[in-house]
Amino acid sequence: KKTIIANIIEIVSEKVFLFSGLANSVIFFGMAVVQFWGASYMKNVLEEDNDFVLLYVFSAICITGPPAGVILGGLVGNKIGGYTVKPAIVYCTIFCGVSCIFAVIVTFFKSVAFFGVTVWLYFLFSGAMIPLITGIILSSLPARLRGDGFSVMNFLLNLTGNLPAASAYGAIYEATKYTHDTWAMMFTMDYNCIGFVFVVIAMIFRLRKKDEEEPKQLHEQEQPAA
């Protein structure tokens, strides 16, 4: 039996696991930024002072967008044969690319309606990645490492995704002397493009793998739905 440190080194040495995990973390970073600071951006930059819009409409966007995306990603995954087939990483890359487009343009216009629609679509396509990329991350490892791999994946996701999201936005906001929520939102949302780079790298390594290297035991099982 190998030590836990040896297992972790072997896990992060798997390129598909590493770059897919980093891409997943970046996506969660972007979603956490919007969920934490979106209402502030609407109030300070878009000058929306209607409490109904700030509370209920924005909450509805945050609550419905990601789950709708997860359902979409699950349906696509089932349609193509599960997350172990090579097209799964291609669809992840497409979903990530589209979500990055909406992340980049979210600050283009000072319109509450435009912000709401683009944020919802960003949540939709970001959420669509989750069921596929989670399966890809874990199936990239041999069966004996998947338990530790799941822990490493969640550690990376929280350490580099959820944890620094709100603080990074706040740091940029303070650095601009509290005058430009726009810069903070723009910089933190443009960071999603790095996630796209990571998922493209993961796709390249995944497509280079030979079919016989794919986990056979996963092919013998029915793929889980969303």
Tens of pLDDT, residues 32-77: 999 999 988 988 888 888 888 888 999 999 999 999 999 999 999 9
- What CA–CA distance (Å, rounded) separates 218 from 139? 8
Residue entry with tokens 């338990």: 147
Give pTM, 2 decimals. 0.87
Q: What was the pLDDT predicted at 223?
A: 52
Q: How many CB atoms lie within 10 A of CB 137?
A: 27
Interior/surface letters 41-61, b for 16+ CB within 10 angstroms, e for the rest = bbbbbbebeeeebbeeebeeb
56 to 61, 80, 92: CA distances (angstroms): 9, 36, 31
- What CA–CA distance (Å, rounded) separates 70 from 55? 24
